[in-house]
Structure 1
Amino acid sequence: MADHFTASPTAPAPQPAKRNARSVLTRRLADIVCLPSSTVTPQERWMVADVLDEMLRTANPELRGRVAARLAEQAEAPAGLLRRLALDNFEIAKPILERSQALTDFDMMEIARAGDVSHRTALARREQVSETVTAALVAAADPHVLTILLRNSGARIAPQTMDRLINLASEDYNLALLLIRRAELRPAQAFALFWDVGHDQRKMILSRFAVGRTILQDAAQDVFPLVANPEDQDALVQRTLFYIDRRQRNREANDSSSYGGLEGVAERAVNGHDEALRMEGARLANIQLSLFERILGDLGGEPLGVLAKATGLSRRHLGYLSLAAGFAAGSVAAERSEYVFDTLSVDKAQTVLRYWDWSFRGREGANAD
């Protein structure tokens, strides 16, 4: 009896990848665009890029992704084609956004404006981010993008952009924490940021930016007598000398005060302070009323230490101000005010207080306009 054998099933033979005229032509054009400059002239590259750009408008995502990945490695990639692919779906645009050295600042500014959060995040992660690109990324105000950007040591921030970030940080505590560590942060910006951060960050700001003004005082020593001349009353010079001056208090006001000077204001404020008493305190301390009220209303306590040290109050009178601000003796806020009082010199405390006063004067002047 004949044996019967059952043939085992065999796998179908692999089919060649489907080829059509469009995909073949697109690949050919991409090959030419990616040729080195020794092989193709700029004019030829631009001509081919224009044709390829038109082909890619209707190409499938897989083909657009392949071309994007190749162009990301080309230092001489055609600008228009590169920018179009950089604004494509993020998975297609990703290699260009992350690696392409052919993207210009203008390209990246446009991508930051017209792309989505994923596009902006990729730009923020680049090894180097110029000031102009950073400004475009900050303009979108995406919290996630800003966090990535501020953690990037290769991102550069212009002063105007930092001002914008300071404003955003007033409503974003985590953003404020990142800004404090940036090398671009300037004293005026840091002291504006002071109000929106916690105790540890305030200590960092005071340690880094509360500096003495000896160099300014030595340079301006012979200028002070000149402003006493009625014929030489320059408002800008007077404002600058006020910042430099070693004296914080308004001496004439202090001598004529019906409250017995700033010490008297502090003693009476323990039992409550109305607007008249606060106005007198601001006048004697030589600062804006709005700043004086902000210091009394701050829940941290550190600004009270700055005020007391800058104006020459004693530690005892600092205690009176703490009670007036609602801080019980031995409370965390009272201890923080004492820490600042004990660790800052008079000159450094005056630097901080005058920066604050400049800021408040400028803000009120802008509101008046």
Structure 2
Amino acid sequence: MADAQPLDLTEPVATPRTRAILARRLADIVGLPSSRITPRERWIVGDLLYDVIRASELELRQRCARRLAGLSDAPHRLLRTLACDKFEVAEPILEQCQALTDFDMLEIVSAGSMQHRLTIAKRENLSETVSAALAAYGEPPVVERLLRNRTATLATPTLDHLVGAALEESGYAQLLIRREELRPAQAFRLFWGCEHMDRFQILERFAVDRTILLEASEDIFPMASQESWSDPMVARVLRYIDRRQRDREASERSTYGSLEGVCEAMAMDGAHPDIVSEIANLASVDHRLVARMIEDMAGEPLAILCKATGLKWPSFQNMWRGLGRREDSDPCHQARKVFDSLSVEKAQTVLRYWNLSMEDKD
């Protein structure tokens, strides 16, 4: 790593003419084709040039960087040194040089400035490793440029990190939604920090039905029942697949008679803890999830809950009134748009992903 540290030079002293000519000649030799110079000779000349440029002024280092940027065989220590130099020296290397390896770029990311990282973030075909290193710095301009780079590859842990960061940096959400690598669990987690249009895009892309799963597992439900649902993992997965959302036994025990009845009570009494707990019980979801939906000032989460449980729009209106919110507000209209656009199965997919994420926190 020491070789890649930024140069610490005294700039006022001009490079002597002889040294400048020597540096140019050495750079010319380094750039000779493989038919004219052996790898060992190139390494030796590269070491000499490395020593010269480390003791030379900015202008000479810039000329060397421009000369070497287009070479595919330049010694990597030399390239890394120039690429970690001041940005006006490093720029042509960072923009043009195809000889930089992942190892080189990791050193540059670490040793360089934000300008260095911004330039690397727009390079073509960035690997998962380099993308992760750029994202780890948490610099919004760098992250946004990285997310716009369609040729960069983002690993799942990197996306997880950026989805979490999107709660603080709202500009990330739109860019993350467009990434092909984004997975449903990440998208539905991202949903909570998004504006309405971003939320709608997430639902359009990731809220899918479960027809194939239902058809493939239809005979497994009676098998699990015969075993008294003794396998927790089987029970967890089948809860996600099941067509039914409401807990029928809970409805029979409820003093409100049904989920619709709870919504009517909420319109009159508000969202007090007993009401929230009863909605969670009847809808077969974690009470923390219902609480989060109620705390969300937009209406989309509650609209998804209503659609997934087979409630009609008047039940949503009852819940909305119980929260003291206006029915002529934009959030209510946006919730209606989501309610009308989703099928019951697609809404269940979203709700169950959220519910599983709550269970994973236990």
Q: Please classify the TM superposition score into its range, dividing by the shorter chain length.
A: over 0.9
Larger Rg: 1
CA-to-partner distance for each residue in 1:303-340, whole Å, 9 max, x for gaps? 11100010111221111111123322232222222222
Q: Tell me, in whole angstroms, the C-alpha distance in 2 between the residues paired with 1:93 and 1:331.
A: 53
Q: Tell me, in whole angstroms, the C-alpha distance in 2 between the residues paired with 1:24 and 1:307.
A: 74
Question: SS in structure 1 opposite 2:197?
Answer: helix
Tell me by how many angstroms 1:343 deviates.
1.6
Tell whether the 8 Å contact from 1:297 to 1:325 is kept in structure 2 after alignment.
no
Tell whether the 8 Å contact from 2:173 to 2:198 is kept in structure 1 after alignment.
no
| Alignment match of 1:177 (pick from 155, 174, 177) | 174
Counterpart of 1:250 in structure 2 is 247
Counterpart of 1:50 in structure 2 is 47
Q: Tell me, in whole angstroms, the C-alpha distance in 2 between the residues paired with 1:321 and 1:287.
A: 17
**TM-score, normalised with respect to structure 2:** 0.92
The AA in structure 2 aligned to 1:94 is: E
Which consecutive aligned stretches of 4+ in structure 1 deviate over 6 angstroms post-superposition? none
Q: Tell me, in whole angstroms, the C-alpha distance in 2 between the residues paired with 1:100 and 1:219.
A: 51
Counterpart of 1:221 in structure 2 is 218
Question: SS in structure 2 opposite 1:44?
Answer: helix
The AA in structure 1 aligned to 2:82 is: L
The AA in structure 1 aligned to 2:272 is: D
Counterpart of 1:322 in structure 2 is 320
Q: Tell me, in whole angstroms, the C-alpha distance in 1 between the residues paired with 2:135 and 2:298.
A: 29
Counterpart of 1:264 in structure 2 is 261
**TM-score, normalised with respect to structure 1:** 0.90
Counterpart of 1:40 in structure 2 is 37
CA-to-partner distance for each residue in 1:112-169, whole Å, 9 max, x for gaps? 1221100000001213322211111000110111111112222221111111110111
Counterpart of 1:306 in structure 2 is 304
Q: Tell me, in whole angstroms, the C-alpha distance in 1 between the residues paired with 2:329 and 2:350.
A: 24
Counterpart of 2:26 in structure 1 is 29
Counterpart of 2:272 in structure 1 is 274
* Residue 200 of structure 2 corresponds to residue 196 of structure 1: no
The AA in structure 2 aligned to 1:307 is: L
For structure 2, list consecutive stretches of 5 or more residues without a partner in the other structure.
1-13
The AA in structure 2 aligned to 1:93 is: A
Q: Tell me, in whole angstroms, the C-alpha distance in 1 between the residues paired with 2:213 and 2:26.
A: 65
- Percent identity of paired positions between Structure 1 and Structure 2: 50
Q: Aligned Cα RMSD in Å?
A: 1.7
CA-to-partner distance for each residue in 1:185-205, whole Å, 9 max, x for gaps? 111111111111111111111
The more displaced of 135-144 and 328-337 is 328-337
Tell me by how many angstroms 1:274 deviates.
1.7
Q: Tell me, in whole angstroms, the C-alpha distance in 2 between the residues paired with 1:272 and 1:223.
A: 41
Q: Tell me, in whole angstroms, the C-alpha distance in 1 between the residues paired with 2:44 and 2:337.
A: 70
Tell whether the 8 Å contact from 1:327 to 1:333 is kept in structure 2 after alignment.
no
Tell whether the 8 Å contact from 2:15 to 2:60 is kept in structure 1 after alignment.
no
